[in-house]
Structure 1
Amino acid sequence: FQEAFEEGGALHGKKVYLFGCTEPQLVPYQGQNHVMNVPAIVAIVSPFPPSDKMGINSVQRETEEIVPMKQMKMDWVPYIPMENRDTEVLRLKSQVYILSCTQRRAALRHLKIDRLKKFEYCLPYFYHPLKEDEFEQSTEVQIVFPAEDKPVLCEFDWELDELEEFTDNLIKDEALSEGQKDEFKEFVKSKVRESKKANREAREARKRAREELSADARAAFENMKFYKFYPKKTDDSPDVSSVKSPFINRYYGKAHEVL
C-alpha cells in the first residue's frame, strides 16, 4: 500500500482520502478454506473531501438514514504516521486524510445500544451528482411486514411482481395468514408509493445538484478516482488475490482500480 505513495505510484503527489473496511470471504490458508474478515483500504483521489455524510442501513432497519459525519463523531483527519513521524511526513509528498472516529475512547465504552447499532451499520456515504444511482431507479422494495407469528421478510418488484399472485404465494407457503391478506397488500402498496416518491425526489435532487455545480467542481467529480488495496501475502498471512473485489459499498459502487 505504501508503494502507491512512492514516485510513480498511483497516489504519489495526490490529495487522498482513506477509509478502511472488511469483507467476509472464504480464503484458502494452510491447506484449508477459512471464512475470514479480509481488510481493505479504499483511497479516493480528490481535491476536496468526497463526502461529509454517513449512510446508516441494514436488513433489520426499515429505513435508511443519511446523517452528517459529525453526528456519528466521524471526520476526515490528516494522516500522520506514528513511527519516524517527521521524516515520514516529509517523504510522503502527498496530502493524506483518513476517516477517523473523533469520539473519546472512554465514551465509546458507554454507548447506549441504539447508538452502538448505528455505529455497526454506518457506511461511508458518497453522492455523485453526475452519475445516476442504480438504487434510485430500483423497482424493488424491502418488505418487513409485522405478521401474526413472525415478520414477513421479502422483496417486492412493482414491475415484475403481480401483488395478488405475490400475496397468494406467501399464504400458500404459510408465511402469511389469509386473515392478513388485505392488510399485507395495503402495506406493500404504501411501501411502493414511498419508494417511487423517493426515486422521483432523488432524480430531481440530482438534476438540481448538476445545475448548481461550478466548472471546477464538475471537473473534480469527473476526475475523481477510487482505489482499493488488499493485503499482500506474507509467510504468516493468507493469499487473498482470489477474493479481491472492486465493490466498495452501495454508495461508492466499484473502485476504478484494485491493487
Structure 2
Amino acid sequence: MRAMKMAWVPYVPLEDRLSRIDSLKTKIFTLGCTQRRSALKHLKEERVKKFDYCMPYYMPLSPPEDEDDTVVNIMYPLEPPIVCDFDWEMDDMEDFIDEKVKDEVLPEDEKEKFKDFIKERVRERKRELKQAKEARKKAIDDMDPKLKEAFENIRFYKFYPVKTDDTPDVSQVQAKYINRYYRHAHELL
C-alpha cells in the first residue's frame, strides 16, 4: 500500500475536524490516498488502473458464495483453438458438444476427444475447489482465537456525503453493496 501511496488514516468526525487530532483516540480508520491532489491529476492510465484495482481485502470466516464454482474455462488445442466456458451444473455435456459441432467449431471426428478433455478439466477444477476449501478450513482452524473473534465481530460501514447546498442528494441511490470482496456493509452512514 505504501507503494500505491495509500494508508489507513484515523477517521475524524465532522464536528471534531477543527480540534487537535492528537487528542483523539479513534478506533475507526479509513483508507486514504496520501498522494498530493495535484499529482493525482497527472497520472498515467496504467497507474490509474492500478489504483482502481488496489483494494485491501480480508478473509471472512464464511466463504463467499462464488457464482463460478461450477464453471470451467476450456481451451481445446485445435487450429484455431476452441475457447469456451463449461458449467457442469447448467450445461448438458452432449448438448454442449453437439452445439460446438453444429456451429462448425469442432470437427465431428474430435467429439470423443473433446468430451474426454472437458471431463478432465472438470475433474481438475473440482479437485482445485476441494483443495482450496480444505486449505481455507485449515487456516481458520489454525487461527488465533482472538483473531478469529475479531473476524467474527468485524463490521463494515459505507459512508455517503452529507446533504448540503453544494452536494447532490444521494439518499435515493444509496446501496449497502460495497464490492465483490467485502460484499455488503452492515450500516450506511
TM-score by length of 1: 0.51
Once residues 79 and 163 of structure 1 are traced to their aligned partners in structure 2, the CA distance between those partners, rounded to angstroms, is: 54
Between Structure 1 and Structure 2, whose CA radius of gyration is higher? 2
Q: Does 1:178 align with 2:178?
A: no
Q: Work out whether residues 80 and 89 of structure 1, in 8 Å CA contact, stay in contact via their aligned partners in 2.
A: no
1:169 is paired with a residue of what secondary structure? helix
Match among 7, 14, 19 for residue 87 of structure 1: 19
Asked if the contact 1:76/1:97 (under 8 Å) is kept, the reply is: no
Q: Is the partner of 2:172 in helix, strand or coil?
A: helix
Shift of 1:225: 0.6
The change in CA–CA distance for 1:191 and 1:177 in structure 2 (over 3 A counts) is same
Q: Deviations over 1:23-82 (max 9, x none)?
A: xxxxxxxxxxxxxxxxxxxxxxxxxxxxxxxxxxxxxxxxxxxxxx56x6365433487x
CA gap of 1:228–1:207, structure 2 versus 1, over 3 A, is: same
Whole-angstrom CA distance in 2 between matches of 1:238 and 1:143: 47
Determine which structure has the larger helix proportion and give its number: 2
Which residue does 1:97 correspond to in 2?
29
Distance, in Å, in 1 between the alignment partners of 2:101 and 2:50 is: 34
Change (3 A) 1:167 1:250: farther
Counterpart of 2:29 in structure 1: which amino acid? Answer: Y
Whether the 8 Å contact between 1:74 and 1:99 is mirrored in structure 2 is: no
Distance 1:75 1:109, change over 3 A: closer
Change (3 A) 1:133 1:194: farther
Q: In structure 2, how many angstroms separate the alpha carbons of the residues matched to 1:198 and 1:245?
A: 34
Unaligned runs of 5+ in 1: 1-68
Gaps of 5+ in 2: none
1:223 shift after superposition: 0.9
Q: Against the structure 1 CA distance between its residues 97 and 146, is the aligned structure 2 distance closer, same or farther, given a 3 Å change threshold? A: farther
Q: Please state if 1:225 is matched with 2:135.
A: no
User: What is residue 4 of structure 2 aligned with on the other side?
Assistant: 73
Cα distance between partner residues in 2 of 1:144 and 1:123:
30
**Deviation at 1:188?**
4.7
Q: 1:73 to 1:91 in 2, by over 3 A?
A: same
Pick aligned residue for 1:245 from 175, 180, 187: 175
SS at 1:206's partner residue?
A: helix
2:187 counterpart letter in structure 1: E
1:192 Cα offset (Å):
3.2
Aligned counterpart for 1:167 among listed residues 90, 97, 100: 97
**Where does residue 192 of structure 1 map in the other structure?**
122
Q: 1:222 to 1:157 in 2, by over 3 A?
A: same
TM-score, scaled relative to structure 2: 0.66
SS at match of 1:161: coil
Indicate the RMSD between aligned Cα atoms, in angstroms. Answer: 4.3
Deviation at 1:127, TM superposition (A): 0.9
Larger RCO of the pair (alpha carbons < 8 Å, separation 6+): 1
Query: Which residue of the partner structure matches residue 124 of structure 1?
Result: 56
SS in 2 for 1:210: helix
Cα shift at 1:202:
2.0
Q: CA deviation at 1:198?
A: 3.0
CA distance in structure 2 between the aligned counterparts of 1:241 and 1:80, rounded to whole angstroms: 22
Compare the two structures and name the one with the higher strand fraction: 1
Does the CA contact (< 8 Å) of 1:74 and 1:102 recur in 2? yes
